[in-house]
Amino acid sequence: MNDWMMNYWWLMPLLSGVLLACVTGPLGSFVVWRRMAFFGDTLAHGALLGITLGVLSDLNPTLALVLSSAVLALVLYPMQRIETLSSDTLLAIISHSMLAVGLVVLSLAQGVRVDLMGYLFGDLLAVTGDDALMVAAAAMVCLGLIAWQWRGLLATTISQELASIDGYPVSRLNLMLVLILALVIALAMKIVGILLVSAMLIIPPAAARSLSRTPEQMVVIAALVGVLAVIAGMSASFYWDTPAGPSIVVAATLMFVASLAVKRR
């Protein structure tokens, strides 16, 4: 059994990456449609402060990451309605401020050592069996919720006023989407890192957008692009000894460029 695990150590990272790509495809499509890229980026940057507080309080880092992302999402969601500043400006200020505060607090903590590069750029090859099970459970929950409320989420994305008239619970659907986004971002940090997590939410759906004619097609193609990016990125990391997270994002970017060429033809 131990020999089998040693020979196929790459299966757990690959499985985790593929499962994550299957979630970021549909979820990222809503992020693109709703123009929430800054929101996801802010959640990713702000989560570093949650990691720091979790380390200082001896809380499990993954649990601290999920809790801090959820709390931050609940705080940021109503703040987007502040009219004194545009939502993009406000989110950008919060994003960079919380990233800086997290780094400062982490540097001041005495006797605490954290793999900062792993959190910033991800460490897919260090994913364990427990991590893969957690990603699998979260993926099933997130995909189940999106499939269950697909019509409502799509209706609120097109027009929240019309969705409300049609009887959809707009506020609850928006809150559910934000919390799913927080959970996926928290889990994706282990794979692609804080600085690259929003790329996995944006690039595959952006590549799928030019190749699809319906929302359903875009969701499926986005997931496929993400899966292919994970496989290509891990292969590049294995053969050329490049970091796995950035390699996955580079592969996704190349597929986005290829999709533009296909669209022009």
Are the CB atoms for 51 and 68 separated by under 8 Å? yes
Are the CB atoms for 72 and 45 separated by under 8 Å? no
38 lies in a domain? yes
Whether 126 shows a pLDDT value over 90: the answer reads no
pLDDT of residue 84: 57
**Domain of residue 187, residue span:** 2-195
Whether 115 shows a pLDDT value over 70: the answer reads no
CATH code of the domain in which 12 resides: 1.10.3470.10
Total domain count for the chain? 1
Helical spans, DSSP H, in the chain = 2-7, 11-33, 37-56, 61-79, 87-108, 116-121, 129-148, 150-158, 160-165, 170-192, 197-209, 215-240, 244-264
Whether 245 shows a pLDDT value over 90: the answer reads no
What value does the mean pLDDT take over residues 47-65? 75
133 lies in a domain? yes
203 lies in a domain? no
The first and second tokens of residue 246, run together, are 């950035």
110 falls in which pLDDT band (50, 70, 90)?
low
pLDDT of residue 111: 62
Whether 186 shows a pLDDT value over 80: the answer reads yes
pLDDT of residue 2: 47
DSSP for residue 243: -
Amino acid (1-letter code) at residue 136: A
The first and second tokens of residue 24, run together, are 């970021």
What value does the mean pLDDT take over residues 127-134? 82
129 lies in a domain? yes
pLDDT of residue 37: 79
pLDDT of residue 86: 61
pLDDT of residue 44: 81
Task: Give the residue with greater pLDDT, 56 vs 161.
Answer: 161
Are the CB atoms for 16 and 124 separated by under 8 Å? yes
DSSP for residue 123: -
- Give Cβ neighbours of residue 164 (< 8 Å, ≥ 6 apart): 170
255 lies in a domain? no
Whether 3 shows a pLDDT value over 60: the answer reads no
Indicate whether this model's pTM tops 0.85: yes
**What is d(CA 211, CA 218) in angstroms, rounded to the nearest whole number?**
7
**What is d(CA 8, CA 2) in angstroms, rounded to the nearest whole number?**
10
- In percent, the amount of the chain with pLDDT more than 70 equals 89
pLDDT of residue 244: 86
What value does the mean pLDDT take over residues 174-184? 91
261 lies in a domain? no
Whether 28 shows a pLDDT value over 90: the answer reads yes
Residue 100's closest CA among 45, 53, 151, 148? 45
204 lies in a domain? no
**What is d(CA 264, CA 63) in angstroms, rounded to the nearest whole number?**
45
What value does the mean pLDDT take over residues 86-103? 76
**Mean pLDDT (the chain, rounded):** 83
pLDDT of residue 78: 78
144 lies in a domain? yes
**What is d(CA 128, CA 235) in angstroms, rounded to the nearest whole number?**
19
4 falls in which pLDDT band (50, 70, 90)?
very low
pLDDT of residue 54: 75
pLDDT of residue 114: 64
* pLDDT, tens digit, 9 for 90 and up, residues 205-234: 999 998 899 999 999 999 999 999 999 999
pLDDT of residue 173: 93
26 falls in which pLDDT band (50, 70, 90)?
very high
